[in-house]
Amino acid sequence: MIDKLQQIIQQTTTQEVDTNSDIANNLTGNVAKETGSSLIDGLKSAVSGGNLSDLSDMLGNTDKNALTSNPIVKTIISSLTSKLGTNVGLDNNTAGGFANSIIPQIISMISSKVQSGDFNISDIISSLAGGGTGSVLDQNGDGKVGFDDAISAVKKGKLGDALGGLFKK
């Protein structure tokens, strides 16, 4: 699953750098690397920290503008801005502008794939956690996290609030 996320990151970052006159095209690989590490590390941190509510809100939202108010997204943008300045050599305005544009764009694409069923939320969470977390979310043991799991979680009082945002359309 991380490979699929990395592909989206690479493709989107390459397109964004190609159209950004403030970033030299020869920096595309470095920018994509830092974008990927900031995004994946930020998502892993949210999963390992048990921040499933903000994570589910984030993955349940495809509105790029609304995503910027999500605490996880803010943290990822801040991390990427710093890495682009320190590791790639971009000035703070260019780094911040790029991070504020690319992170919501990538997360919106991932959210669209989750909502369309192309990506399974339990696979994403499990891969970010290093395996195993998906089974906690899979309330009925069918190997998938779906609406029935959300209902079961709410009825059992486990993870109900956190999972609620995953299943809104």
Pairwise pLDDT comparison (162 vs 65), residue with the higher score: 65
pLDDT at 53 over 60: yes
pLDDT at 163 over 80: no
Residue that has been written with the tokens 């989750």 in this structure: 114
Residue 154 maps to a domain: no
Residue 43 maps to a domain: yes
How many CB atoms neighbour CB 127 within 10 A?
20
Residue 11 maps to a domain: yes
Residue 139 maps to a domain: no
Number of domains in the chain: 1
Is 35:11 a contact under the CB 8 Å cutoff? no
Give the domain range for residue 113. Answer: 2-130
Residue 169 maps to a domain: no
Query: In the prediction, which pLDDT does 72 show?
Result: 93
Residue 167 maps to a domain: no
Report the C-alpha gap between 37 and 75 in whole angstroms: 13
pLDDT tens track for 113-159: 988 888 887 778 778 776 544 444 555 556 555 555 555 554 554 44
Residue 10 maps to a domain: yes
Residue 108 maps to a domain: yes
Query: What average pLDDT does range 32-48 have in this prediction?
Result: 91
